[in-house]
Structure 1
């Protein structure tokens, strides 16, 4: 009788998790984003909040300085020919230092209105966790830092995906065009004209530039950040439902975390080391160390592969190792070991895993030394600006204990493939 009741409850929760409601979004406890989980809102959350926070669209739209800035920027972008092409076409859409300073000044001025400040900062920005690396700053500096990050993210997206500058990992994250091919000038011109033609009455000063940057990600086929959203629904719905009814007292760890190791050949769906890591994790799961496995990895290796590491690992854990499908959660966005950690921390916290005991990272014996070591800890800070959790030695040489920190929700938007 008890077993059938629990099954019914899991089925009900799974059905509700599949709905595009706040409960299925990847938000910290106590916050429900008032906007859809899209590419735009993942990469540029500040802009979504400025549209959603009561009073802010109206205040921004009627601000004379911001209205003039929007008109000046539209005039810059309206030029269909310039020199040296094609880079000058992209430059017209970037935020200049003067633009950035003017916007920050106006945002700080608008914060003098207490209702506006509360609507944006107290009800949106701070509880969302999206700006957690700046949480210690007073309100004016906090909003200023978030705006500078957003402007830098647009400029970085333009630099990499319009002008061909190298990203941090050019082998897997780079520009797909050839600047030397004359036809590329036509592509960039067409993109600019099309973006300018999409202007709307409801646009705020940042919307055209955001539209241009997102369009660049689309024409480069780099929309990875929008896939599998909302994350707690779809492929994760059954496991998310099971999390809610799990008796945590009978297992020493909340989950086993397994990071992908993508292949370099186009036919393989998982790398060799991925198979070894899955075998270790399946063995530990069978021994009862944790009630769930979280597999982490995006569409990474080889460059522009159609195969997703997390999806493929879940498939193999179920089909080859006998792990129940509702005990495996996917984290399908991470492209580097840093974001494996950060994204797993986000998923554990958003899905409601207990925080009074750690998860267990599982890997081969050499990689686990790197994951638990100082080199990766420093790289986390250098590349993401945050340390997404606390690390401690695991019970054997294949594991490390990991306790997530809510600072992991901070959005590093200069990495638009996985912010």
Structure 2
């Protein structure tokens, strides 16, 4: 399915269906499986199924699903040397997507393991939130699988074929169609033919190709510092369950990043002012945690993660205790700064009926609280990550988190 059509459908689902549907609640405390793999943030359920021997056996024994695996292999085998032809051969078609949905929902009726994964990893994860208001488990599964197929296709188009991403900074690492691109795709084709020769799983080649193309482009942005709960955020996460939320007006103070403009320094000077401003607010006791959000974005192909630099600055220059700082190191834009922060809040048990503060420069807060920003969230993510409650002076605003933020954004692989 075309990614623009998918986004339109997602927008419609979030904007209108929620007037009527009863969404099934995601599991508070849910831990993503293999969050250190970028694909886990993009095509989650397919990756989870690939980790279940029982489900893989059931899929491999289905005649129609095996036929799709064979079709993809033959397309790849018959593709030429052009990178676009190779990448196009790996895309699952709309007809194949419908057949996959038909056969997988058939398998669901007799598979305890597949049903358990549906309950735990589709509904429980929240990654498919906008589909959980559908009328049956079969329809939820069909929609989740279609979402994953669209996500894999989008990765293959952008990081295999070299199609233009939403933002140029997220483009492939080589000249599209140039010598390096052609060489890498030819060699990828040979490798994929080896991988797919014996596979009977419909998703093997698209899933492996998507991970391969992300790796060849050094695109690990969705998974840096994962698992967060065992690294940079471990000490802060341990304090969450014992936090007396009633002592604080707000659940957290989110500081928005300001993309660095050179490779030598991890923070933009304007970002330092934002951090110092937020630190003073935090010291007043407004919230128990300060969250810093910013990924590997600017400059192009930087290896610096902005949120990590923000945390170091708050500790060293502003005197904020490190166990009160939570990093969100994956967001690439203001939209996902807020959305990804809400994801952390929901999964870690923050009270969802308690507002949080977003902090930045005056002009940035102007933008966040504008109708244009809400329209941008709908356009780029297909959802509103929060309710925009009120302005709190020049540098702060009060927001209320919304659990639909857990939904994966299939149109933007690095910022899903």
TM-score bucket (shorter structure): 0.7 to 0.9
**Aligned twin of 1:57:** 56
Aligned: 1:295 with 2:292: yes
For residues 11-160 of structure 1, what are the structure 2 equivalents within 5 Å? 28-29=27-28, 31-33=30-32, 37-51=36-50, 55-79=54-78, 82=80, 85-113=82-110, 115=112, 118-138=115-135, 139-160=137-158
Aligned: 1:178 with 2:175: yes
What SS does structure 2 have at the residue aligned with 1:400? strand
Quick check: 329-338 or 272-281, which moved more? 272-281
Aligned: 1:416 with 2:408: no
Question: 1:309 touches 1:332 (CA, 8 Å); kept in 2?
Answer: yes
Question: 2:153 touches 2:206 (CA, 8 Å); kept in 1?
Answer: no
**Aligned twin of 2:15:** none
CA distance, structure 2, for counterparts of residue 373 and residue 53 of structure 1: 45
Residue 36 of structure 1: how far off its partner (Å) = 6.0
**Aligned twin of 2:378:** 381
CA distance, structure 2, for counterparts of residue 283 and residue 124 of structure 1: 40
1:52-108 alpha-carbon deviations (Å, 9 max, x no partner): 5685323211100111111121122124x616x232121111112222222122123
User: Residues 316 and 33 (structure 1 numbering): CA distance in 2 closer, same or farther, change over 3 Å?
Assistant: closer
What SS does structure 2 have at the residue aligned with 1:92? helix
Question: Scaled by the length of structure 2, what TM-score is found?
Answer: 0.87
CA distance, structure 2, for counterparts of residue 118 and residue 234 of structure 1: 32
CA distance, structure 1, for counterparts of residue 57 and residue 357 of structure 2: 48
**Aligned twin of 1:214:** 211
Q: How many residues align?
A: 390
Q: Which runs of 5+ in 1 are unaligned?
A: 1-26
Find 1:269's aligned residue among 255, 262, 266: 266
User: Residues 34 and 152 (structure 1 numbering): CA distance in 2 closer, same or farther, change over 3 Å?
Assistant: closer
Q: Which runs of 5+ in 2 are unaligned?
A: 1-25
Aligned: 1:317 with 2:320: no
Quick check: 214-223 or 372-381, which moved more? 372-381
Quick check: 147-156 or 337-346, which moved more? 147-156
CA distance, structure 2, for counterparts of residue 169 and residue 113 of structure 1: 44
CA distance, structure 2, for counterparts of residue 34 and residue 367 of structure 1: 34
